[in-house]
Amino acid sequence: MSDVLEYKGYQATVDFEDGRIVIQVLHVRDHLTTETHDASKVEAEFHALVDEYLADCEEIGKNPDKQYSGTFNVRIAPDLHKKCAWFAVSRQISLNELVGRALEGVLVEAEAAARTVRENWEAAPEMISQVSESNVVVKLRKTSRSEDEIVVAWGEAIAKERRH
């Protein structure tokens, strides 16, 4: 599984391949990668790659952002597909609308959970917190993980618990 970095509104995956650390910037119009052998330089290499790409795009008047069509395939278990189709019909909405609403709901919940963590960040690294409305207990120990990684982990845990 890849690590994910964020900088200036862009994400990148970080993978270890054949003794190299490969950084690939996501959500841009072009295939944008770099590599390093030094793990301590990953973040700086990613920042430099994004900065250089944005400068090049500005110079030639190109929008750097990947355009999304709003269409993608979702692979789920046949039984879940059937349940979703029945549910959508019973609510008089399309399956596409149901999926869109579900995805939007997950993102809203994760963002709310992330806000909660950010508001309570000073205590977060050593606390065991309970989120009353979802009965989620999240154990956060001191680690080398960044604040954003812990925020995302907590947000994902809360969103997962609320779905069950």
Helix (H) or strand (E) segment spanning residue 22: strand 20-26
- pLDDT of the residue at 121: 63
Question: Does a structural domain hold residue 71?
Answer: no
- pLDDT of the residue at 18: 86
Question: Does a structural domain hold residue 68?
Answer: no
- pLDDT of the residue at 75: 93
Beta bridge partners of 22: 15, 35
Angle, helix 147-163 to helix 95-119, in steps of 10 degrees = 130
Extract the tokens encoding 84. 């979703």
Question: Does a structural domain hold residue 158?
Answer: yes
Q: How far apart are CA 60 and CA 64, in angstroms?
A: 10
Dihedral of CA 131/136/142/143: which sign? negative
Note the pTM of the prediction, 2 decimals.
0.60
Secondary-structure breakdown of the chain: helix, strand, coil percentages, each rounded to the nearest 5:
50, 20, 30
Both 103 and 153 in one domain: the answer is yes
The closest alpha carbon to 36, from 15, 7, 12, belongs to 15
Q: What is the mean pLDDT of each run of 10 residues along the chain (164 residues)?
A: 83 89 94 91 93 96 94 92 94 93 88 76 51 42 50 58 56
- pLDDT of the residue at 136: 40
Q: Which domain holds residue 127?
A: 97-163
Question: Does a structural domain hold residue 77?
Answer: no
CA atoms within 13 A on the CB side of 124: 23
- pLDDT of the residue at 110: 82
Q: How far is CA 113 from CA 21, 63, 129, 162, in A?
A: 31, 32, 12, 11
- pLDDT of the residue at 147: 52
Both 55 and 101 in one domain: the answer is no
